[in-house]
Structure 1
């Protein structure tokens, strides 16, 4: 799946990956997909990245589980795995040599954790002044909580997203995937690319300090600014929207459907489909601000009306009237859909005859497309590279 004439916009960029779990690996996988060479350093004392053991399910070799868990697979393609114990002088010397050859280093140790090995930014910038050094942590390198460990669930709780997620009368609810980690990795990638451009223009590297909690706070977006502006804490609305009505998940006669009415003309067309034209003339519902005030009264009309109609019919009617609507798909339905197939979001890679089912990169670049050059590696599979003069020399 690699086009030699399009090696990727980051071809030639060298990434030393000292991260594990999800936030850092998300960033380095994205850089790898864009053409960078990524050396993933894994600890031989622990068997590598923690997520190698976060299963089932695992890829099987015959009847035996491998160290390729689904969790590891999701964030570690386009990387080469080298086993280095940074707690030893030999390991520290290896990392220093690799840092001197790299353009980017990413780590997610506790703040200050690498200083005792001489592998912190202050130390490595002396031997690699152009190095872009990215540190990912729970709360950041500064502040009263800097020394506390950071995990996705903790960040979702501390950063506020759990307080507005879930049923109105239920408990605070996390998002179904590690979204704080993933979004932190995305923000980290943006910062890395900005710092890389600066380094290429000036020869000056820099330290990027990014926290799970900071990035979590940033992506409270409209609800966060609603709070800043009003001074009021938002409430949990389940699948409802704080600023738009009707906008949410509605029960049908055989399942559920998503209704997203974004303006008043759409609302008039929507209610007409179900014989409720009078609602569009009712002062309580004629405008979105009015519907926000009277959302419960409106729901008393909409909920029973949609419950009488099958999902496919609701979707067909609303699409025909140009009112935004969609299904609520299971993940098997997602990957089986013609849309996911057409957009190359279903990706299979091969590792020594083993099929590795992955998810494609959503970036579609017209001149420098992403590429899938290396399957997620077995632990230490590329350690022999450490004996080479240039371990980053890609193949």
Structure 2
């Protein structure tokens, strides 16, 4: 996925494959040379297959002398043929399940194993059922996007220093980076994140998902019961919660007369965040995706004409797009061998390589709330950018969730105590300004004149209604990169629909394949689409900076959470495009591996994830669990046979795991090469030996809440290491500092306070849940 992102942005990508081809070719291939996943992810790439190690050495020597980026992962079978000394200018990306160091560095990886330890799996599913994973390679997709972020950052830094570097990216840390309060909820508030009851609303033809946690009395209007609107205090989350059970029973009764899209449309007309659950066919026929031109069309040598999932961002000046067919195995070997046979050695770089932060000197302004937008600013800030966060006194930016203490005591400064805000907004300065006032608009435009990047994640109508849209900002600064993030993008019939990350799991297809069985869907009880879209937006920004630096031209980047989420649904989409089969929930099983699942271990709600990925794994598993009778059964010697008897094998594995603790069972299996891992609850993550050894969580002092651990980043740069230089800002902490930099003197700043253009405290009430929040509260 990393090389697809880079290729779609214009990079030339060469895949050096083994003689039997990349394993990805076999996914969904049936009787073809490759399946839909290869057709999608390999579009526009070149394929080389060396005859032997010697020819591989020659080809790789030439390629690495001229390449900008070398991407390696566990499946890089020609690794031994690489030159012993790589060019100093080369950027080397190392992708792995667990990272190159730590107690689990040698563990066997699998999609379910890294997902099990990455936080989401434990709290997804029914309270009385097994934890669930989202299928479709989520761990590797997260790692791929972060690898692209690392690669583009290093390319930009190399222009300054002349030196390359190595960047380690692990699937585990990429998963851990996709959380807003995984450990904060426990370490600060003592709130476990548990699995919650099914909360989708059944409709006439399927399912819809309402964002229930945010109080919205318009739901009573939706179901024709306006008299109940006066029965709830919308500023009291606990009061709202007490009504949720009965309220949504009534909503479901009302919804039986409508299809899912009708329910969502009627809800959205009342500004209620509700979306239909769309499967692969639903997305293929969706009017919003079609209107925005998200689908890409292209030929494929195996599958003829296909529609391919589009990018997670629309870029006005340099569109990311599929740039050709997927290659046949070894299609370009001869041409590449000839081209790179006599490549001259690269010019030596400067003698001294700097260790300055890679994005030092970059100026970023953000107007963001919740999660998708703030994570973009945090990434850029961690990498060295100067980030100024704009807030409104009347609309403080998500400063309410997970305050320290068992009762989440707000104390005097509740708006500075939210761990959710503090986690997402480090390395930023804070300026409060009323953008509805002319004086506030002027301050905004003054910031735009100096900014390299502006990021906002408001509803699509907000910035145009303020008169502060891209066209207005670019008149002040033609080189500005202006990023708008919204649920469904800045255009199309669903443009003004409101949605949270949980809603996007429904509309982007992810929920349609998550669950225990085909007739009932599930979701992660978090804003899962927020980090997915935020990470994609970061890739787009770094690519736009490359273009801006060479041409002086800025551009507009339109990020729809729904499209970024659908990009992570590509496997099911390509299955439908190639076979017209609609993928449905199937627990934790995978058609490529069997048995695979979540198995109870000793203890209360303790689980181990196990994946048998080959016939050799099957032999090893049977030996460890002491089931020679299963090993002797010839029907079980093949994947097909094991898949047919999966229930029986699940029972056999769980009989063994239930007598062992999580780590005991995982280690026993890993020692013989079977992929396994404990499924970690939020209260376990910080204390896992491997995660602890990696120092992924860093302790940061905040002037109000004190010292707490926060997630760092999944990119391990060998030279220009990211850093946490300042804690998240207090509300309005940098008003005077930023305004002074814009040229305002003390008297002018005092006048802005007098006119209430700026303020030191919020003027809107902060929503507080004194009884604590659960994972069901998004």
TM over 0.5: yes
SS at match of 1:53: coil
Farther off after superposition, 219-228 or 180-189: 219-228
1:373 correspondence with 2:725: yes
Q: Deviations over 1:255-305 (max 9, x none)?
A: 421112222211111112223234345453222244334323433443334
Q: How does 1:21-32 map to 2 (within 5 A)?
A: 21-32=370-381
Farther off after superposition, 233-242 or 317-326: 233-242
CA contact (8 A) 2:533 2:561 kept: yes
CA contact (8 A) 2:588 2:597 kept: yes
Give, in angstroms, the shift of residue 227 of structure 1: 3.5
CA contact (8 A) 1:138 1:155 kept: yes
TM-score of the superposed pair, with normalisation by structure 2: 0.47
Provide the residue aligned with 2:438 in structure 1: 89
Match of 2:689 among 331, 338, 343: 338
Q: Say if 1:111 and 1:153 are closer, same or farther in 2 by CA, change over 3 A.
A: same
Q: Deviations over 1:46-87 (max 9, x none)?
A: 3x20x2023444787988645231111221111100001110
- Pair member with larger Rg: 2
For residues 373 and 61 of structure 1, what CA distance do their matches in structure 2 show?
26
Match of 2:401 among 27, 43, 54: 54
Provide the residue aligned with 2:505 in structure 1: 156
For residues 644 and 733 of structure 2, what CA distance do their matches in structure 1 show?
60
Give, in angstroms, the shift of residue 229 of structure 1: 3.0
SS at match of 2:608: strand
Q: Say if 1:9 and 1:324 are closer, same or farther in 2 by CA, change over 3 A.
A: same
Q: How does 1:316-355 map to 2 (within 5 A)?
A: 316-352=667-703, 354-355=706-707
Q: How does 1:285-304 map to 2 (within 5 A)?
A: 285-304=636-655
Give, in angstroms, the shift of residue 389 of structure 1: 3.6
Provide the residue aligned with 1:138 in structure 2: 487
CA contact (8 A) 2:400 2:415 kept: no
Q: Say if 1:45 and 1:347 are closer, same or farther in 2 by CA, change over 3 A.
A: same
For residues 76 and 337 of structure 1, what CA distance do their matches in structure 2 show?
25
Match of 2:418 among 66, 69, 86: 69
For residues 451 and 558 of structure 2, what CA distance do their matches in structure 1 show?
18
Provide the residue aligned with 1:245 in structure 2: 594
CA contact (8 A) 1:7 1:371 kept: no
For residues 630 and 481 of structure 2, what CA distance do their matches in structure 1 show?
58
Q: Say if 1:258 and 1:341 are closer, same or farther in 2 by CA, change over 3 A.
A: same
Which 5+ residue runs of structure 1 have no aligned equivalent? none
For residues 76 and 154 of structure 1, what CA distance do their matches in structure 2 show?
24
Give, in angstroms, the shift of residue 188 of structure 1: 0.4
Provide the residue aligned with 1:235 in structure 2: 584
For residues 63 and 117 of structure 1, what CA distance do their matches in structure 2 show?
32
Give, in angstroms, the shift of residue 161 of structure 1: 1.3
Q: Say if 1:291 and 1:226 are closer, same or farther in 2 by CA, change over 3 A.
A: farther
Q: Say if 1:253 and 1:336 are closer, same or farther in 2 by CA, change over 3 A.
A: closer
Provide the residue aligned with 1:265 in structure 2: 616
CA contact (8 A) 1:165 1:237 kept: yes
1:165 correspondence with 2:514: yes
SS at match of 1:74: helix
CA contact (8 A) 2:487 2:497 kept: yes
CA contact (8 A) 1:7 1:368 kept: yes
| C-alpha RMSD over aligned residues | 2.4
Farther off after superposition, 172-181 or 51-60: 51-60
Q: Deviations over 1:353-388 (max 9, x none)?
A: 732432222221111111111100111100112332
Provide the residue aligned with 1:42 in structure 2: 391
Give, in angstroms, the shift of residue 109 of structure 1: 2.2
1:274 correspondence with 2:274: no
Q: Deviations over 1:317-338 (max 9, x none)?
A: 2122121111122222211233
For residues 648 and 618 of structure 2, what CA distance do their matches in structure 1 show?
15
Provide the residue aligned with 2:524 in structure 1: 175
CA contact (8 A) 2:373 2:457 kept: yes
Q: Say if 1:234 and 1:61 are closer, same or farther in 2 by CA, change over 3 A.
A: closer
